[in-house]
Amino acid sequence: MTAAHDIDRAGLDSRRQRRRAVIGSSVGTIIEWYDFTLYGLAAALVFAPLFFGGSDLAGTLGAFATFAVGFLARPIGGLLLSHFGDRIGRKGTLLVTLLIMGGATTLIGVLPTHESIGLWAPVLLIFLRIFQGAGAGAEFAGAMTMASESSATGRRAFTAGFPGASVYVGMALATATFAALTGSMSDETFLAWGWRLPFLASVVIVAVALYFRFRVKETAAFEAAEEAAAVSRAPVVDAVRSHWRFLLPGMALFVFTLPWVYIVQTFAVSYTTGTLNVDSTHTLIGLLTAMLLTIPATLAAGALADRIGRKPLLMGAAVFGVVFAFPMFMLYETENSLLVALGLILGLAVIQGATIGVSAAMIAEIFPTRMRWSGIALSRELPAAAAGGTAPMAATWLVSMGGGTPWLVAGYLVVLSLIGVVGILYLPETLVKAPTGGGTPVARGTTSPRP
Task: Identify the pLDDT of residue 203.
Answer: 87
- Asked if pLDDT for residue 186 goes beyond 90, the answer is no
Residue 403 Cα distances to 271, 397, 439, angstroms: 13, 10, 62
Q: Is residue 47 part of a domain?
A: yes
Structural contact between residues 223 and 119, judged by C-beta atoms closer than 8 angstroms:
no
Task: Identify the pLDDT of residue 338.
Answer: 95
pLDDT in tens, 327-350: 999 999 999 999 999 999 999 999
Mean pLDDT within 76-80 = 89
Q: What are the start-end ranges of the H helices in 309-390?
A: 310-333, 337-345, 351-366, 372-383
Q: Is residue 451 part of a domain?
A: no
Q: Is residue 448 part of a domain?
A: no
Percent of the residues in the chain that have a pLDDT greater than 90, as a whole number = 36
DSSP-derived secondary structure for 66-92: HHHHHHHHHHHHHHHHHHHHHHT-HHH
Q: Is residue 158 part of a domain?
A: yes
Task: Identify the pLDDT of residue 392.
Answer: 84
Q: Residue type at 114?
A: H
Strands (E), 122-264: none
Mean pLDDT within 69-98 = 88
Overall domain count for the chain: 1
Which residues make beta-bridge pairs with 443?
A: 432
Q: Is residue 294 part of a domain?
A: yes
> Residue 137 carries which DSSP code?
H
- Identify which of 121, 14, 118 has the alpha carbon closest to the alpha carbon of residue 66: 121
Structural contact between residues 181 and 287, judged by C-beta atoms closer than 8 angstroms:
no
Cα(414)–Cα(78) distance, rounded to whole angstroms? 28
Which residues make beta-bridge pairs with 442?
A: 433
Structural contact between residues 266 and 259, judged by C-beta atoms closer than 8 angstroms:
no
Mean pLDDT within 116-121 = 85
Structural domain range at position 403: 3-443
Residue 150 DSSP SS3? coil
Q: Is residue 376 part of a domain?
A: yes
Q: Residue type at 273?
A: T
- Asked if pLDDT for residue 442 goes beyond 60, the answer is no
Report the number of secondary-structure helices (H) and strands (E) in the chain: 21, 2
- Identify which of 329, 369, 261 has the alpha carbon closest to the alpha carbon of residue 5: 369
pLDDT in tens, 293-340: 999 999 999 999 999 999 999 999 999 999 999 999 999 999 999 999
- Whichever domain contains 60, its CATH number is 1.20.1250.20
Residue 426: count other Cβ atoms within 10 Å of its Cβ: 13
Q: Is residue 449 part of a domain?
A: no
Structural contact between residues 46 and 178, judged by C-beta atoms closer than 8 angstroms:
no
